[in-house]
Amino acid sequence: MQEKRLLIVGAGVGGLAAAIRCRGMGHDVLVLEKNSRVGGKLNRRLIPHPKRPHERPFRFDTGPSLLTLPLVFADLFSFVGKDVRDYLSIIRLDPVSRFVWADKQTLELGNGREQLLNSVKQLSPRDVHGMKRFLDYGQHIWKLSGEFFLTRAPEQAFQGEGAFSPWNTIRALSIPFRIGMFKKYADLIDQLIRSPRLRQVLYQYATYSGSSPFLAPATLAVIAHVELDQGGWYIQGGLYRLAEAMEKVAREIGVQIQTDTTVTQILVDNSSGHPKVTGVRLSDDSTLSADAVIVNADVVYTYQHLIEPQYRRRFSDDRLKRLEPGGSGMVLCLGVEGTYPQLAHHTKFMPDDYTSDLRAMFETHTIPEDPCIYVCASTRTDPSQAPPNCENLFVLCSAPALDGRIDWTVEGPKYRDRIIHQLEHRFGLTDLSQRIVVEEHFTPIDLQRLYNAHAGSIYGISGNGIRQAFLRPPNRDREIQGLFFAGGATHPGGGLPLVALSGKIASELVHEYLKAQKPV
């Protein structure tokens, strides 16, 4: 097949996954990235110790800090004849995370069901059976949704041999009922679990998709199943190594990648009466032609700023305003002298009332007074991430998406001080404020600026409600021929493996489209 020019806007995980697969299918691929390096929200900061600049620096993964479903990336590399083990050292964590309350009670989520249930037994013996049922429910959803929702576009569900048989039709139409689309996630947990603290632990899995457990469907139990039953991993050298490895593979197989290149418009031709992509315009007003374009930028930003209104009637400004952004957060990157042995690789310091944290983020749109404080100390697994006898603490606390109510230039420093005070005086990180030698922080405003994130959201569009959980903006634009999407704000959703799968879906759709085009 003759190579056809494909442009990919954005070199995040979804864009790189799409680029690798499209090049493996024989297409001429050029990736355009506005920032100086690839990865999108999967990013890093390297900060030297101010008094020991010649030693290794503090390294911070500023995006995802846990890898699940590593087989998704093994499959991606294998698609182009590469072995992921030649590029990455992937380490299974045990425990995956540790939960700590102010009265010193802890819960460790071990790697695998048996260890997990033993931990649950210590926290709340009467909930062991309910926890088994919850995990079984998530596993059931995984088996059903994997085929129909995670590895293909919704419109592909009926494709393939025997796709339109009565049995397949009934099976597909029944899936929404069987995977809990019409039941709230929190209601499922409350039905199965009695311990308020164990409920809190399970509620937090909804936030992994930027959703509230009180508004999102019970289908999100699949997220807990993936982490708790199938395990959590770390990549030696930091999670950003994944972006570096994907870039390396892409370049090795002939993908062209241009960083520091900003796309300002998706070009569309309507001379035939059917709008069709013809390329992109760059910030210097030059243009690049293309047979198809995959956008790995925020979907809402793309429709609002890169596509002329007459070509996006399905995504008018009014409709885009109704797309609820997922939750956001306040990030602190703290390089500290000395170590805190009480920290696990992932530690979550729980508030007295976690529901108040969730309601602040999704309902009142305020900064939580008593937030859940997540701390990643990757030095537990990988000492290379900080200078000797130091810790690299990546701290994340929830925050609402931007809506103009919070002045982050004023409230951000106050929130930072509250977080440090809680860690130091309530949770035992002694003298933390005095031991910080390097520090950077990111608010929702920074996320919006760096990644064009819709309302500064970490997770793109929320999964609150059936429509937003299952009818996200599609991977193929229905009005503009040759325009496709990959990334956390499109199908199948956010998180490293799902974003990589969105790249797979987009690559398959664009390959079908380009094959159908008449040769030039």
The residue among 346, 330, 101, 122 whose CA lies nearest residue 200 is 101
Query: How many Cα atoms are found within 13 Å in the side-chain-facing hemisphere of 472?
Result: 29
Please report the sign of the dihedral spanned by the C-alpha atoms of residue 148, residue 153, residue 155, residue 159.
negative
CA–CA separation, 248 and 241 (whole Å): 10
Q: What is the structure's pLDDT at 219?
A: 87
Who's near 451: CB < 8 A, 6+ residues apart?
A: 40, 41, 298
CA–CA separation, 10 and 259 (whole Å): 9
* Stated pTM of the model: 0.92
**DSSP 8-state class, residue 120:** H
CA–CA separation, 327 and 398 (whole Å): 7
pLDDT tens digits, one per residue of 288-325: 999 999 999 999 999 999 999 999 988 888 888 888 88
Q: What is the structure's pLDDT at 146?
A: 67
CA–CA separation, 101 and 373 (whole Å): 11
Residues, the chain: 520
Residue 460 amino acid letter = G
Going along the chain from its start, the domains and CATH numbers come out as 5-36+259-323+467-516 (3.50.50.60), 43-69+85-111+231-237+325-460 (3.90.660), 114-228 (no CATH)
User: What is the three-class DSSP state of 396?
Assistant: strand
Q: What tokens were used for 137?
A: 């429910």
Q: What is the structure's pLDDT at 459?
A: 79
**HEC letters along 14-65:** HHHHHHHHHHHCCCEEEEECCCCCCECCCCEEEECECCECCCCCEEEECCCC
Who's near 329: CB < 8 A, 6+ residues apart?
A: 396, 397, 398, 399, 444, 458
The residue among 256, 261, 260 whose CA lies nearest residue 29 is 256
CA–CA separation, 180 and 220 (whole Å): 9
Residue 482 amino acid letter = G
Please work out, in degrees rounded to the nearest 5, the angle formed at the alpha carbon of residue 262 by the alpha carbons of 258 and 264: 140
CA–CA separation, 461 and 37 (whole Å): 24
CB neighbours of residue 5 within 10 Å: 16
Q: Which helix (H) or strand (E) holds 217?
A: none
Residue 407 amino acid letter = D
CA–CA separation, 457 and 327 (whole Å): 6
User: What is the three-class DSSP state of 481?
Assistant: strand
Q: What is the structure's pLDDT at 479?
A: 92
Residues of the chain with pLDDT under 50: 1, 158, 160-171, 173-174, 469
CA–CA separation, 503 and 296 (whole Å): 9
Q: Are 80 and 22 in contact, with CB atoms under 8 Å apart?
A: no
CB neighbours of residue 160 within 10 Å: 10
CA–CA separation, 245 and 234 (whole Å): 14
CA–CA separation, 117 and 114 (whole Å): 5
